[in-house]
Amino acid sequence: MNTYRIYEDLRSSLGEEAAKSLAHTLGPMFEELGETVTKAEFRELNATVGRLAEAQERTEGKVAQLADALERTEVKVAQLAEAQERTEIKVAQLAEAQSRTEAQLATLTQVVQSLGEEVGRHGNRLDAVLGRTFEVQFRDRLTSYLGRLMRRGKLLRNDQVLDAIEQSIDAVEADEVLRADAIAAGVIDGVASHVVVEVSVTCHADDIDRAEQRAGILRKAGLVAVPLVACEVISRELLAYARSKQVRIWCNGTILDAAA
């Protein structure tokens, strides 16, 4: 059983390279063993080696499959990494867009706020102009506007009224008389009286309070005085408040119900 014979017997089952390798390994071993190895034993050895070779081939096939699966997994991982990178880019872009939106919104808020303040300033100026116009108009037509309340009415200058009562009031009260929007004298329910008028396009609580306070100063000096607020708009709540204060209301051309 020489090396060539072993090679020939193994080549069909193992292939040329594996057969050469085993032949070079087994040949010397068989030569040393001589006739102690029978042909049957060699065939059995050959079959065993064949089975080992098949097992090795199957193992190599499995290894190849695992290598292929690993390669596919690496491809998937690479694809996932790319997708993750694209997602991170999208997130960064969204964050940047959100930052720009927030900055634009902040700028827009400032613009709207500035516009609101400007509109407010214009509104205040417009209210002042309307109020002044309404006051002048009411003073010019006071006797006709108050014709149902006061007969033979006459618009007085505030300093004229002050001359008549100055000895009976203090300096603060004198200033209040001079600040009254209008003071008229006439006859109310048969009694010589004064009407102290506060004029406001929209009636507010402080208009009612001022009319009451300034009429009270004239009463303190011994005059009959009726407080009145002339307006174009008044709420139900303020009308009730005026009645509780005994303050008359002229609203949009009409003397409302007398104070209770």
Cβ atoms of 6 and 22 within 8 Å: the answer is yes
Beta bridge partners of residue 196, listed in sequence order:
183, 227
Give pLDDT, residue 53.
65
Q: What are 40-73's pLDDT values in tens digits?
A: 666 676 677 667 667 767 777 787 888 888 888 8
User: What is the rounded CA–CA span in Å between residue 162 and residue 241?
Assistant: 29
Cβ atoms of 230 and 247 within 8 Å: the answer is no
Least confident of 74-88, 208-222, 245-259: 245-259
Is the C-alpha dihedral spanning 226, 231, 232, 238 positive or negative?
negative
Q: Quick one: tokens of 89?
A: 């880019």
Angle between helices 158-165 and 205-220 (to 10 degrees): 40
Domain boundaries, the chain: 142-255
Residue 228, class by beta-carbon neighbours within 10 Å (0-12 exposed, 13-18 middle, 19+ buried)? buried
- Looking at residue 159, what DSSP letter applies? H
Question: Long-range contacts made by residues 30-33, C-beta under 8 angstroms, separation at least 24?
Answer: 30/1, 30/2, 30/6, 31/1, 31/2
Alpha helix stretches (DSSP H) within 141-168: 142-145, 158-165
User: What is the rounded CA–CA span in Å between residue 179 and residue 153?
Assistant: 20
Q: Which residue has the higher pLDDT, 75 or 112?
A: 75
Q: What are 79-126's pLDDT values in tens digits?
A: 888 888 888 898 888 888 888 888 888 887 777 777 767 655 655 555
Half-sphere exposure of 145 (CA within 13 A, CB side): 27
Distance of CA 59 to the CA centre of its chain: 66
Cβ atoms of 255 and 242 within 8 Å: the answer is no
Of 54, 40, 45, residue with least CA distance to 27: 45
193 CB neighbour count, 10 Å cutoff? 19
Of 149, 175, 136, 162, residue with least CA distance to 228: 149
User: What is the rounded CA–CA span in Å between residue 23 and residue 2?
Assistant: 8
Q: What are 151-200's pLDDT values in tens digits?
A: 998 999 999 999 999 999 999 999 999 999 999 999 999 999 999 999 98
User: What is the rounded CA–CA span in Å between residue 165 and residue 178?
Assistant: 12
